[in-house]
């Protein structure tokens, strides 16, 4: 068993860390306060090859695996989660094309995603259905050589920016299995009837775009179907298998940032004439954080390593996602506590980490859903 990163992987980590430190630090607070982002930063990250490293070289990707993508995720999220989402989640859903897309679809979307020409969104959640994607009701009906899509989607990352929207819609309502009714269909930006409404006032990851989408008689060619008709639910599970380990890497980055901020601050801050790091109650928190970061990272990287070798263990992936989310939330809470009143101010990065960390326990399957997946996997063994 080899836990060491290769020289190439260490180079990727160092390059990502350097880029994030240089580009995120001065703008993170402003983007967070104003809920804005500068798309030039995303373009720069694309130019430097940080976006879509897991995609095939044939389509302009890095030709690496999800492990390398997770390494970049950890570095970017440790620097600033909102900016990291705005940059790295622009390819969310590209996995559907690599796995199920036609050659023409791959050629159409993938090179644009990695070269900073287009952003992708994947729209599954609806106002009345989140944890239960099979319960979503947006419809796509065949009319001649087109799909006609009607319905609405909620909380869609990049919904307001995306050139390509992958819509999860009911195409086979008569199928007796609720897992055989949906398909993914590509809707390009600007298609008449597609409207996006940016959501404001998020707790965290405020630099990233989140929108609700409405589809009113949106017409796209039948050839915009991604993969096989009626297989959307199973495709979504495959997407989750890859996306959840990326979310786990987000949790690792956030937990690590909480630890790093705590180490810096407690060594410097003095009370009763000594650094607060010398108090054993502080040390207990530091020890808990350091252990959680390590455990979360090991779960996440084992899951990514397995997926890269074609072995999909959805129980392990769900464990990594749940545990890393828990690590992010708990470590950021301890870190804020260690900062006392200063941690309550947004000028201190630790406040942002505390707010940003919560999303890891919500998107791509809440922590409760992840625990159900883990339990099912264990009980089936
Ligand atoms: C900032 C942000 C960005 C997002 N981006 C996207 C995106 O790009 N695309 C997309 O499709 N979605 C996106 N989402 C949606 C996200 O995936 C959902 O919010 C999430 O899946 C939960 O669904 P819900 O909000 O409807 O909550 P619900 O499903 O209503 O859950 C509410 C509570 O009930 C619990 N619960 C539900 N079912 C069970 C059960 N069986 N057992 C025990 N507890 C249960 C949940 O764990 C949760 O605590 C995003 C959300 C946010 C906040």
Q: Which tens digit of pLDDT belongs to each residue from 209-266?
A: 999 999 999 999 999 999 999 999 999 999 999 999 999 999 999 999 999 999 999 9
**Protein residue with its CA nearest to atom 25 in ligand 1:** 130
- Best mutation site among 130, 167, 374 for ligand 1 pocket (most ligand atoms within 8 Å of CB): 130
Matching residue, tokens 């639910």: 233
Q: Does residue 139 surpass a pLDDT of 80? A: yes
Whether 381 has a pLDDT exceeding 90, the answer reads: no
Measure the CA–CA gap between 16 and 74, rounded to whole angstroms. Answer: 9
Q: 48-81: buried (b, 16+ CB within 10 Å) or exposed (e) per residue?
A: ebbbbbbbeeebbbbebbbbbbbbbbbbbbbbbb
- Ligand 1 atom with the smallest distance to the CA of 92 is 8
Nearest CA to ligand 1 atom 48: 366
Handedness of CA 235, 296, 293, 50 (dihedral sign): negative
Report which protein residue has its CA nearest ligand 1's atom 6.
156
pLDDT digits (tens, 9 = 90+) for 58-85: 999 999 999 999 999 999 999 999 999 9
Q: Is the full-model pTM beyond 0.95?
A: yes
Q: How confident is the model at residue 106, as a pLDDT?
A: 98
How would you write 154-182 as a 3-class SS string? Answer: EEEECCCCCCEEEEEEECCCCCCCCCCCE
Q: Is the pLDDT of residue 289 over 90?
A: yes
* CA dist 198 → 154, 201, 202, 206, 290 (Å): 10, 10, 11, 12, 37
Six-digit token pair at 275? 């650094």
Cα 81 to Cα 65: distance, rounded to the nearest angstrom: 22
The catalytic position among 23, 261, 364, 370 is: 364
Distance CA 61, CA 376 (A): 35
What is the C-alpha to C-alpha distance for residues 363 and 356, in angstroms, rounded to an integer? 12
Instruction: Check residue 2 and give its pLDDT.
Output: 84
Residues in contact with ligand 1 by the CB-under-6-Å rule are 122-125, 130-131, 155-157, 202, 210, 359, 362-364, 366, 368-369
364 annotated active-site: yes
């Amino acid at each position: 068993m080899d836990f060491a990163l290769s020289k190439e992987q260490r180079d990727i980590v160092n390059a990502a860390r350097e880029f994030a430190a240089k580009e995120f630090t001065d703008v993170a607070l402003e983007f967070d306060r104003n809920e804005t982002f500068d798309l030039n930063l995303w373009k720069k990250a694309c130019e430097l090859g940080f976006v879509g490293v897991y995609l095939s070289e044939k389509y302009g990707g890095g030709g690496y695996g999800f492990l390398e993508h997770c390494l970049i995720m950890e570095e970017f999220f440790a620097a600033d989660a909102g900016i990291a989402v705005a940059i790295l989640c622009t390819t969310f859903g590209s996995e559907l094309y690599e796995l199920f897309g036609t050659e023409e679809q791959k050629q159409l979307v993938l090179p644009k995603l990695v070269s900073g020409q287009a952003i992708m969104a994947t729209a599954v959640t609806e106002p009345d259905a989140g944890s239960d994607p099979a319960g979503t009701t947006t419809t796509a009906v065949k009319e001649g050589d087109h799909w006609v899509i009607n319905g609405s989607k909620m909380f869609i990352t990049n919904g307001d920016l995306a050139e390509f929207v992958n819509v999860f819609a009911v195409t086979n309502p008569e199928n007796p299995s609720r897992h055989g009714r949906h398909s993914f269909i590509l809707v390009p930006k600007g298609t008449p009837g597609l409207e996006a409404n940016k959501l404001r006032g998020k707790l965290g990851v405020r630099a990233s775009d989140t929108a609700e989408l409405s589809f009113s008689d949106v017409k796209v060619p039948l050839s915009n179907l991604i993969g096989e008709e009626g297989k959307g639910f199973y495709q979504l599970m495959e997407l989750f298998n890859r996306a959840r380990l990326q979310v786990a890497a987000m949790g690792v980055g956030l937990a690590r940032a909480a630890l790093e901020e705590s180490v810096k601050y407690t060594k410097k801050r003095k009370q009763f004439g000594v650094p607060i790091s010398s108090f054993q109650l502080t040390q207990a928190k530091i020890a808990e954080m350091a252990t959680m970061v390590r455990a979360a990272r090991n779960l996440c990287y084992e899951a990514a390593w397995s997926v890269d070798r074609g072995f999909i263990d959805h129980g392990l992936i769900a464990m990594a996602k749940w545990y890393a989310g828990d690590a992010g939330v708990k470590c950021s809470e301890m870190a804020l506590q260690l900062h006392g009143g200063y941690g309550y101010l947004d000028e201190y990065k630790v406040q942002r980490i505390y707010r940003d960390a919560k999303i890891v326990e919500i998107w791509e399957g809440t922590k409760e859903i992840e625990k159900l997946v883990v339990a099912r996997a264990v009980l089936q063994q």
